[in-house]
Amino acid sequence: MSPHQPNRLAKETSPYLLQHQHNPVDWYPWGEEAFAAARDQDKPIFLSVGYSTCYWCHVMERQCFENEAIAMLMNERFINIKVDREERPDVDQLYMTGLQVLTRTGGWPMSLWLLPDKRMFFAGTYFPPEDAHGRPGFPNILTGLADAYRDSKPDVMKTAEQLQGVLQELAKPSGTDEALTLSADWIAPLLLRCIDDYEPRFGGFGGAPKFPRETLLDLLLWAKTSKIVTDDMKTEIDRPLRHALDAMANGGIRDHLGGAFHRYSTDAQWLVPHFEIMLYDNALLGRIYAQASVTLNEPRYADVARRVFDFILSEMTNSDGLFYTAFDAEVDAREGLNYLWTMSQVEEVLDPREAARFAAVYGLSAGPNFADPHHGPAEPDVNVLFLAKPEEENAPDIIAMREKLFQQRQSRKKPLLDTKIITSWNALTIRGLAVAGRVLNEPRYTEAAVKAAGNLWHEHREADGTFFRTSSNHVRKHLAMLDDYAFFAEALAELGHSKEAYELVTTMRARFEDAADGAFFFSDMSADDLVVRQKIAADSPLPAGNAIAATVCDTLGFAETAARALAAFAVQANHHGPSMCATVQAIGQFIEKNGPLRVEATTSETSRVATPAELAEQSVDVLWKFVNDTRIAVELRIVPGLHLTASTIELASPDVAIAGIERPMAEQKTYAYAEAPVDIYEGSATFHVRLHQPLTADDTLKLSLTYQPCSDNACLPTTTRTIEITK
């Protein structure tokens, strides 16, 4: 196929799929045409899942999918399917679970190999175009898997059958052998565990890469005003909450000229972001800062919220008042190019006095702080703007300078804007604008929310009450998921549109609720193209659909429905609260309104497969001993086959100022996924913690340990644990 001849994706509406329409790969969209071709030709399926603003998705396209020889191999031996994870989060979540089971890691692009009946048998993420460092490149992976399917089909079928059983197991809520009663006393220990990985040096939670953790911030804001949370606990969570909000507002993760937030920080100090700008992040953070301005009595947070929503309304809103999906991280294959500045570029826009003042406020005077990890010199040569002097942010002259520089930036080539309209993400934005309009006394935000809600209802709703998930240029695609119904119902309730919210919840219950256990499926009842229909209660970074569904059911008078849905996931929330903050909050709100929640005995959860987060914690044993009164040896014993990336390891104390930490010498190794040698620890590594003074018999030293375990071709999630040391 000529690279100039469009493939089947040319008929799609997703910007991500359209990006691949001129690949020489004979791509199919997800659907029966592809599945029938796989059955008729007896070929395995290669499934590639990504999204329009994913940097490594673009890299794999350039290196592999635009390569004529690789495309020929793909076309000869596979039926090739492309999926936009934002259009089909049900497909993405199902196979991401399988990827995590197989490789103990996850990410995009997601590369999967399926039988013609859609059961998976192999998975990975990014693959290079050639063999490197003893790891096979994409062509050898393709050849090996195609040969295995042809020559060893019984073994391939057995792997798929085993994995299918695991996915079916993981799709169900955990049970309990003993009945539980969740009351106000249940909340405090969960809140403490949820802030266990508070990072006291730079703010936020966990180590690099550092994410906003919106559902945790939401939970903490609710707890600050809850009647069932003690005053002592409210004091305990105040510092982590304020520190995170301040650190993100000051850091490079925030686009200081435009006002929005980037996806996450690549480092621990919030300086260098991954430059995607996602609608859902900003919808959630805008609402959180607006609410925090009132809850925490901090006017500065109101300004942060206003700038977030002003950016959405000016840069991510169409003529119907609906909201676009995301800005890409790159311009011309360069990460963050649109957002970076040199001092000379600032001086071209501002006069010398202004430039010097702006540089002092936004960190340029400290010198360059960003080096492109994929292009250019190894040393920093440009700047990510950050607030070196937060107190000056809203000075009138600084505001005027920001506007001048923003207008100049508007003349630069902009990152790709994904113009899909996603129901759930729009619903989050509608709710955020509604809350901001109310608490900030900004009628224009309320008006924007009302307009968007009306047009989303009109554009995405069928006459029978069912909803579509996405649209592009008024062409609707894919049945809505649980998130779409639950988030939109919550937004309508926030606006006071109770009739429409009630109607939406009624449809949601009919199409998603499982009468057997009360939990909600993620995909619609008519979804017949999935090998497993999942029930999910973990946050993504979005709040879990089951949590929001239960909350809005309770709000609209379906208290029994809410109780059953929350009870279904109460055991998981009790054990894995930090990854289920929206569920913890939903249970807390239910208890506050209705009293204790009873969870009846069902079945044991002992047979459940460990999640990637659990595997990450289990991969390292931590031992400690006193070398002398002021020196503690902390030994990390790493399971065979894994290593710890040295740069991810952080050891700190939120309780006392320790005198210092001595790190062991790391070993350098080269891996196929890395462009340079990586400092790692294998086997064991002993860190020495020095104290200013000896501990007394009554003292407990709490150490926060963050690390990321990896194999030679994949990584588990970064995890943070608390170590308690007593004399």
Q: With contact defined as beta carbons under 8 Å apart, do 114 and 135 qualify?
A: no
Q: With contact defined as beta carbons under 8 Å apart, do 456 and 308 qualify?
A: no
| Best CATH choice for the domain 180-270+278-329+418-599 from the list 3.40.50.300, 1.10.760.10, 3.90.1860.10, 1.50.10.10 | 1.50.10.10
Any idea which of 53-57, 140-144, 337-341, 344-348 has the lowest mean pLDDT?
A: 53-57
CB atoms within 10 A of CB 278: 23
Report cis status (omega within 30 of 0) of the bond before 209: yes
Whether the per-residue pLDDT at 606 is higher than 50: the answer is: no
Give the pLDDT score at 106: 78
396 SS3 class: helix
Residue 295 region by backbone torsions, left for phi larger than 0, else alpha for psi between -120 and 50, else beta: alpha
Q: Partners of 633 in the beta sheet?
A: 625, 688
| Tokens read off for 623 | 């031992």
Give the pLDDT score at 1: 44
Give the pLDDT score at 715: 66
Quick one: average pLDDT of 175-185?
81
Whole-prediction pTM value?
0.82
Give the pLDDT score at 609: 53
Give the pLDDT score at 145: 94
Give the pLDDT score at 103: 78
Q: Partners of 687 in the beta sheet?
A: 634
Give the pLDDT score at 131: 81
Q: Tell me the angle at which helices 396-410 and 352-361 cross, rounded to the nearest 10 degrees.
A: 100
Which residues, in sequence order, are CB contacts of 231 under 8 Å at separation 6+? none
Any idea which of 76-85, 131-140, 315-324, 710-719 has the lowest mean pLDDT?
A: 710-719
DSSP state of 64: I
| Average pLDDT value for the chain | 91
Cα separation, 84 vs 73, in Å, equals 23
Q: With contact defined as beta carbons under 8 Å apart, do 55 and 336 qualify?
A: no
Give the pLDDT score at 612: 64
Backbone phi, then psi, for 5, in 5-degree steps? -95, 120
| Tokens read off for 324 | 């676009």
Cα separation, 649 vs 686, in Å, equals 12
Give the pLDDT score at 713: 55
Whether the per-residue pLDDT at 657 is higher than 70: the answer is: no
Q: Nearest 5°: CA angle at 32, between 30 and 34?
A: 60
Burial label for 580, CB within 10 Å (0-12, 13-18, 19+), is buried
pLDDT higher at 216 or 646: 216
Residue 338 — pLDDT band, cuts 50, 70, 90?
very high
Give the pLDDT score at 654: 63
Q: Partners of 623 in the beta sheet?
A: 635
Task: Quote helix, strand, coil % in the chain, to nearest 5.
Answer: 45, 20, 35
| Tokens read off for 21 | 């329409």
Class of domain 8-170: alpha beta
Length of the chain: 727
- For strand 180-182 and strand 264-265, is the pairing parallel, antiparallel, or unpaired? unpaired
Nearest C-alpha neighbor of 223 from the set 502, 489, 488, 591: 591
**pLDDT tens string 24-46:** 999 999 999 999 999 999 999 99
Which residues, in sequence order, are CB contacts of 352 under 8 Å at separation 6+? none
| Best CATH choice for the domain 612-726 from the list 3.90.1150.10, 3.40.50.1010, 3.30.565.10, 2.60.40.1250 | 2.60.40.1250
**pLDDT tens string 476-495:** 999 999 999 999 999 999 99
Give the pLDDT score at 605: 45
pLDDT higher at 504 or 371: 504
Give the pLDDT score at 207: 83
- Report the percent of the chain where pLDDT is more than 70: 94
Residue 712 — pLDDT band, cuts 50, 70, 90?
low
Burial label for 72, CB within 10 Å (0-12, 13-18, 19+), is middle
Q: Which residue has the tokens 């007394």?
A: 696
Instruction: Please give the helix or strand (H or E) that residue 327 lies within, else none.
Output: strand 326-327
Residue 405 Cα distances to 255, 339, 350, 358, angstroms: 12, 11, 8, 10
Give the pLDDT score at 134: 58
Whether the per-residue pLDDT at 528 is higher than 60: the answer is: yes
Cα separation, 283 vs 426, in Å, equals 8
Quick one: average pLDDT of 386-409?
97
Q: Where are the domains of the chain?
A: 8-170, 180-270+278-329+418-599, 335-414, 612-726
What is the dihedral angle through the alpha carbons of 541, 582, 512, 536, rounded to the nearest 10 degrees? Answer: 60
Whether the per-residue pLDDT at 82 is higher than 80: the answer is: yes
Whether the per-residue pLDDT at 218 is higher than 50: the answer is: yes
**pLDDT tens string 268-305:** 999 999 999 999 999 999 999 999 999 999 999 999 99
Nearest C-alpha neighbor of 655 from the set 620, 625, 627, 695: 695
**pLDDT tens string 529-543:** 999 999 989 998 899
Cα separation, 198 vs 205, in Å, equals 4
Give the pLDDT score at 610: 57
Residue 687 Cα distances to 377, 663, 665, 695, angstroms: 33, 5, 10, 18
DSSP E strands, 127-234? 180-182
Cα separation, 378 vs 597, in Å, equals 56
Which residues, in sequence order, are CB contacts of 226 under 8 Å at separation 6+? 187, 588, 592
**pLDDT tens string 315-332:** 999 999 999 999 998 888
Quick one: average pLDDT of 198-209?
91
Residue 401 — pLDDT band, cuts 50, 70, 90?
very high
Give the 3-state DSSP-derived string for 512-523, with helices as H, strands as E and coil as C. HECCCCCCECCC
DSSP state of 468: E
Q: With contact defined as beta carbons under 8 Å apart, do 612 and 100 qualify?
A: yes
Report cis status (omega within 30 of 0) of the bond before 109: yes
What is the number of alpha carbons within 13 Å of residue 253 lying toward its C-beta?
Answer: 29
